[in-house]
Amino acid sequence: MPTDQPAAVPKAIPKPTPETRPFWDGAAAGELRVQRCLACLRHYFYPRPVCPHCGTSDVEWVTVSGRATLYSYVISHRPAPGFAEDGPYAIAVVELEEGVRMMTNIVGIEITPENLELDMPLRVVFEPRGDVHVPLFAPAAAPATGGER
Amino acid sequence: MSTDIVIVGAAETDEIGRLPDRSVFELHLEGACNALADAGLTKDDVDGVATVGTPGPVQVAHALGITPAWLDGTSVGGTSFLFHVRHALAAIRAGLCHTVLITHGESGRSRVGAPPRAFGRDSLPGQFELPYGTMGPATTFTVTALRYMKETGLTHEQLASVAVAQRRWSSRNPRAAMRDLVTVEDVLASRLVAYPFHLLECCLVTDGGGALVVTSRERAEALGTRKPPVYVLGSGESAESPIISQMEDFTTSRSFRLSSQAAFADAKITHADVDHLMIYDAFAHVPIYGLEDMGFVGRGEAGAFIEEGHTSPGGRLPMNTNGGGLSYTHTGMYGMFAMQESIRQLRGEAAAQVPDVEVGVVLGNGGMFMSAATLVLGNRRS
Ligand SMILES: [Zn+2]
């Protein structure tokens, strides 16, 4: 980036809370972690201390595969702070193979409706941002470099 | 038999649209005064106040010189005011108060006296939505649509036809912000905001307000209100997820289904009884979900239903007859305006009046498929 330009506005940086800290610690370690209920054995997301399926607080953190499929998305044509240089970008919801969904961005592929086919296989990559790492998803077939657009 | 609950006052602010010289608070008070005048009542007749978090019921009551015996500050997004009607109904029936004023005012466009929109970095959206470049409803509410399109076959043209149908209504409404008729081609040629949504498939951003006065039929008769009462025949409320990614199925709203089932059962009506329908239309896909989730059409049929003109002027299910959030006004919390139009239709005083409206249904949405409330209104007792 040319140095005579004003400093770029940064992308939003999430701030962990006690119940979400293991998720963000996992991301910093290059692992996607979600919670699983020890009673009903179902995974869930976002982080919280009680299983939304059966109500028990007997839950654990597990590292999942990071394999996912594309559930739905929009292509934003109005850049949020920090996204101006990305061009149109995909705000997506992916479904992990463990059955939970999360919002993310799709990276590692040119963002067009033709390239983004629902249910296409994806895998997690992590983008360092401020003092956290943010999970993003790339086409499963793409080379394993994180954060590229 | 439970007490009949009636809406005896209903009015919007004198103007809606772009009001840079009016604060949020002023808009609340102007709507309140207009609704009381519409009812032929004064602030001394009111002993209950309900509104959303900012400015809140205490400030509204105090500014108007009302000493409330009952307050409600339920703030669950743009449908909050439908919740307030339902809660007022229960409070009046329980004897907690007699007459409730429900106010809305929002400087959605001009941001005068408006609270900051920001979410904290440690909130749920701050951690799990904003890092992905979301820019409010246009990039979150919309994210379900491609899934719906894939699973049901809804076409881009059918999605656009929602905006076309609503412009047919707003073209007859002098207060509507957007009144020029548009074609499917016009909608698809408008600029992409968040693919697959074009500008004309997104709601307006406006300033304005409105208020309602709710009481019992007995009280209304004792006080001698001005206009014929509108009966609250049934109601329902529900909620799903605070962040859209955790909706259980992107092709149907659980809270639309549950709130509407409850309201229809409460009112003991069937779909055939409904003469007029308002579905909160923040974006063009929302009325499609609403029609299916309420059961007016089958799964995957709503797009064709709208495209074929059944919700347009002359159609068998007149819907969003003020022009809706897409063409009439959308301050950010549109629910008040959906109710106002339903009441106007039931009173026979709408700009684009539908003949013989006796039963109207209003479906309100809060947040991004976050919460929902449904009201069945009628111009006579059930
Ligand atoms: Zn469980």
Minimal Cα distance from A113: which residue of B? B195
Cα–Cα distance measured from residue A61 to residue B118, given in angstroms and rounded to the nearest whole number: 30
Cα–Cα distance measured from residue A3 to residue A94, given in angstroms and rounded to the nearest whole number: 37
B245: chain A residues, CB-CB within 8 Å: 93, 101-103
Residue A142 confidence class, pLDDT cut points 50, 70, 90: low
Which one of A13, A45, A80 has the shortest CB-CB distance to B134? A80
Spell out the domains of chain B, with CATH numbers in brackets: 5-114+205-378 (3.40.47.10)
Please say if the pLDDT value at position A147 is more than 90: no
Q: In the predicted model, what is the mean pLDDT of chain B? A: 97
Q: Is B59 on the interface with A (CB under 8 A)?
A: no
pLDDT at A140: 96
The residue-averaged pLDDT of B62-72 equals 98
Q: Do A91 and B250 touch (CB under 8 A)?
A: no
Cα–Cα distance measured from residue A70 to residue A14, given in angstroms and rounded to the nearest whole number: 23
Residue B313 confidence class, pLDDT cut points 50, 70, 90: very high
Ligand 1: centre distance to CA A134 (Å):
27
B122: chain A residues, CB-CB within 8 Å: 14-17
The sign of the torsion formed by the CA atoms of B312, B314, B320, B324 equals positive
The residue-averaged pLDDT of B41-61 equals 96
pLDDT at A146: 47
Please say if the pLDDT value at position B190 is more than 70: yes
Minimal Cα distance from A47: which residue of B? B124
Q: In which element (H, E) is residue B278 found?
A: strand B276-279
For chain A, how are helix, strand and coil distributed in percent, rounded to 5? 5, 35, 55
pLDDT at B118: 81
In whole angstroms, how far apart are CA B221 and each of B33, B232, B343, B352? 21, 16, 19, 29
In whole angstroms, how far apart are CA B322 and each of A119, B29, B154, B172? 39, 23, 25, 8
Mutation for testing the B interface, residue in A24, A34, A100, A103 having most B CBs under 10 Å: A103
The sign of the torsion formed by the CA atoms of A60, A61, A65, A69 equals positive
3-class DSSP assignment, residue B343: helix
Q: Are B373 and B82 in contact (CB under 8 A)?
A: yes
Q: Do A93 and B128 touch (CB under 8 A)?
A: no
Residues 95-134 of B with CB under 8 A from A: 120-122, 124, 126-134
As beta bridge partners, residue A63 has: A33
Cα–Cα distance measured from residue A67 to residue A98, given in angstroms and rounded to the nearest whole number: 9
pLDDT at A144: 53
Distance of residue A93 Cα from the nearest chain B Cα, in angstroms: 6
Ligand 1: centre distance to CA A58 (Å):
8
Instruction: Tell me the residue ranges of DSSP E strands in B169-258.
Output: 192-195, 197-198, 207-216, 230-239
Count the residues in chain B.
382
pLDDT at A125: 98
As beta bridge partners, residue A90 has: A75
For chain A, helix (H) and strand (E) counts, in that order, are: 1, 8
Residue A7 confidence class, pLDDT cut points 50, 70, 90: low
Q: Provide the residue range defining the domain that includes A34.
A: 21-139
Structural tokens at position A130: 């401020």
Reported as a single tens digit per residue, the pLDDT across B17-34 is 999 999 999 999 999 999
Please say if the pLDDT value at position A148 is more than 70: no
Cα–Cα distance measured from residue A11 to residue A18, given in angstroms and rounded to the nearest whole number: 22
Q: In which element (H, E) is residue A64 found?
A: strand A59-64
Ligand 1: centre distance to CA A51 (Å):
5
Which one of B129, B195, B250 has the shortest CB-CB distance to A71? B250
* Residue A30 resides in a domain: yes
pLDDT at B251: 98
Q: Tell me which of A86 and A9 has the higher pLDDT.
A: A86
Closest by CA to B349, choosing from B322, B368, B377, is: B322
Reported as a single tens digit per residue, the pLDDT across B84-122 is 999 999 999 999 999 999 999 999 999 999 888 788 999
3-class DSSP assignment, residue A128: strand
pLDDT at A130: 92
Closest by CA to B282, choosing from B161, B364, B352, is: B364
Residue B54 confidence class, pLDDT cut points 50, 70, 90: confident
**Can you give the pTM of this predicted structure?**
0.96
Mutation for testing the A interface, residue in B139, B245, B247 having most A CBs under 10 Å: B245
* Residue A145 resides in a domain: no
- The pLDDT > 90 percentage for chain A reads 88
* Residue A75 resides in a domain: yes
* Residue A148 resides in a domain: no
Ligand 1: centre distance to CA B312 (Å):
46
* Residue A121 resides in a domain: yes
Those residues with Cβ within 8 angstroms of residue B185's Cβ, 6 or more apart along the chain or in another chain = none
What is the value of ipTM here, to two decimals? 0.95
Those residues with Cβ within 8 angstroms of residue B204's Cβ, 6 or more apart along the chain or in another chain = B177, B178, B325, B326, B327, B328, B329, B330
Please say if the pLDDT value at position A1 is more than 50: no
Q: In chain A, how many domains are there? A: 1
Q: Do B142 and A73 touch (CB under 8 A)?
A: no
Q: Do A15 and B127 touch (CB under 8 A)?
A: yes
Which one of B135, B193, B243 has the shortest CB-CB distance to A80? B135
Please say if the pLDDT value at position B133 is more than 60: yes
Ligand 1: centre distance to CA B238 (Å):
22
Minimal Cα distance from B131: which residue of A? A12
Which one of B131, B145, B246 has the shortest CB-CB distance to A12? B131
Q: Is B248 on the interface with A (CB under 8 A)?
A: no
Mutation for testing the A interface, residue in B148, B195, B252 having most A CBs under 10 Å: B195
Task: Give me the phi and psi of B60, to 5 degrees please.
Answer: -65, -45
pLDDT at B259: 98
Ligand 1: centre distance to CA A104 (Å):
25
Region class of A114: left (phi > 0), else alpha (psi between -120 and 50), else beta? alpha
B133: chain A residues, CB-CB within 8 Å: 11-12, 76, 79-80, 82-83, 86, 89, 91, 105
Q: Please, what is the end-to-end C-alpha distance for chain A in angstroms? A: 16
